[in-house]
Structure 1
Amino acid sequence: MSDKSAAWNTKNLGIPDEFSKFVRHHPSELMLRSLFSSTYSTNPPKITSDTRVLDIGAMYMNNLVPFHDRGARCFGVEINEDMVSIARRCAEQQSIAADIRVGSNRSLGHENDSFDIVLSINVVHYENDQAGLRAAIEEYHRVLDKDGRLFVVSAGSEHYIRLNAKHLGPNRFEITADDFRRGQVMAYFEDEAQLGELLSEKFRLVETGRVIEKHARANVDFLYAVAVK
């Protein structure tokens, strides 16, 4: 198990022993705007009962809920067996039928051309460097079917987790925030333009965006993209 994987197990998993206390997590609003509305995206997918959706880092299943509600076929991966077990329990609690297994950015554990939509929401930066980002994008591309959509989100330069991080080199940032990831090295895109450039190496259509939220104690900043194979 990697140090990053172990950190999630020991410092961030707050699942109660009594699973009846489960509290539903809500889907990403950014995902809903980007994939479920033509108001925001020029290439939103058509979601039907034949749509196959893979969520990388499925955990609480929140981002698969709107696809499940529309009859899509749902799949998820998590980084280790403990987190797979949690995701399966969350799926059962919400009556979501889903294939959930161990997988990672660079090894998703599915055949070529298996999915119509791949969700990578705040997980791609768990790579270590630009080579890792490229390898993850390559793997996302591999499992997507023709005309499939990738939705990817990562932290921008004004996000609190990144704001004072040590910039160790291209796409390498050491976390210094008081957080369970402190001391870990993450691979963030340098900016929105680079996100688009790296995706365009593999995908035929790419549209990018950025959302910044300013709050009393900390700001969040997300770079995102919808890419078409």
Structure 2
Amino acid sequence: MNQNNLVNAKDSWNLEIQREKKEKKYPKWPNEAMLKVLFGGNDYLEKPCLPKPSWRVLDVGCGFANNLVPFADMGCDCHGVDLHPDMVKTAQEVMDDRGFKSNIKVGSNRSLPYEAESFDLLISINTLHYEGTEENFISALTEFKRVLKPGGSLYISTVGSEHEIYRRAEILGNHRYKIKNFDFRDGEEFFFCDSEKYLKYYCSKVFENVETGKITEKLMNLPLEFLIAICR
């Protein structure tokens, strides 16, 4: 993504966040699949990744910080980053109003404002595909690894091939797509992994241990699919 496109994306996302805030139609509860995978004990993973109150947790592309709620509730040291200063202010206000301790900063997938080996867990929920190219996608994964402590874990959710946003997109080649006829994101370029195989392939370029899964659902008129991964 070139600099002009990045600026436009930041502004578009900020406008959407402020609209949702004004209308009070923003997500207040955490991602269901994340809760199952991370808090589900031995049911979902070969090697469980059970959060502890002592953990330091980072949500990259945190939005309204709703995915930090279960970690803040159990006493974790919770941090989040997002693209625009107004988005950061909004997320911090929402968390403060809800009585959850957190620290939200400006940052992005490939530029996290933290020292190396800072976190026990990093969560990236439906933000990584915005990197747009293979090079940027791998660079983001490398930045995620940089800020994780030795033995730390990364939880990823990204769009799968049965998702409506993918089905409508214009194919650019090499896992690259342009969003069309969807919403305020029209014109943005995505980097889709297309399948579990490719998500594991790219994650394994950076992380030693990778487990993947897939969630497919149809909510009345809207097909949704997400690929998920735990990387260690």
Q: TM-score, length-normalised on structure 2? A: 0.92
Q: Report Cα offsets for 1:26-65 as digits up to 9, x if no partner.
A: 1001100111112112233232221010001222121111
Give the aligned residue type for 2:36. R
Offset at residue 24 of structure 1 (A): 6.0
Asked whether the equivalents of residues 116 and 149 of structure 1 are also in contact (C-alpha less than 8 Å), the reply is: yes
Within 1, Cα distance between the matches of 2:66 and 2:14? 19
Structure 2 match to 1:63: 67
Which of 25, 32, 48 pairs up with 2:35?
Answer: 32
1:4-153 matches, within 5 Å, as 4-13=9-18, 14-16=20-22, 25-37=28-40, 38-153=42-157
Asked whether the equivalents of residues 77 and 84 of structure 1 are also in contact (C-alpha less than 8 Å), the reply is: yes
Offset at residue 15 of structure 1 (A): 1.2
Distance 1:129 1:24, change over 3 A: closer
Runs of at least 5 residues in structure 1 that lack an aligned partner in the other structure? none
Structure 1 match to 2:188: 184
Offset at residue 12 of structure 1 (A): 4.8
Q: Report Cα offsets for 1:192-216 as digits up to 9, x if no partner.
A: 1010011111111100000100132
Within 1, Cα distance between the matches of 2:139 and 2:43? 32
SS of the aligned residue for 1:64 comes to helix
Distance 1:24 1:225, change over 3 A: closer
Runs of at least 5 residues in structure 2 that lack an aligned partner in the other structure? 1-5
Asked whether the equivalents of residues 78 and 101 of structure 2 are also in contact (C-alpha less than 8 Å), the reply is: yes
SS of the aligned residue for 2:222 comes to coil
Within 1, Cα distance between the matches of 2:31 and 2:59? 12
Give the aligned residue type for 1:53. V
Q: CA RMSD in A?
A: 1.6
SS of the aligned residue for 1:4 comes to helix
Within 2, Cα distance between the matches of 1:22 and 1:68? 22
Q: Report Cα offsets for 1:101-146 as digits up to 9, x if no partner.
A: 0000000111100000000000001112111100010001110011
Structure 2 match to 1:155: 159
Q: What percentage of residue pairs aligned between the two structures are identical?
A: 37
Indicate yes or no: 2:159 matched with 1:167.
no
Offset at residue 190 of structure 1 (A): 2.5
Within 2, Cα distance between the matches of 1:44 and 1:180? 37
Structure 1 match to 2:3: none
Deviating beyond 3 angstroms after TM superposition, the runs of 4 or more aligned structure 1 residues are 21-24
Within 1, Cα distance between the matches of 2:197 and 2:187? 27
Asked whether the equivalents of residues 4 and 126 of structure 1 are also in contact (C-alpha less than 8 Å), the reply is: no
Q: TM-score, length-normalised on structure 1? A: 0.93
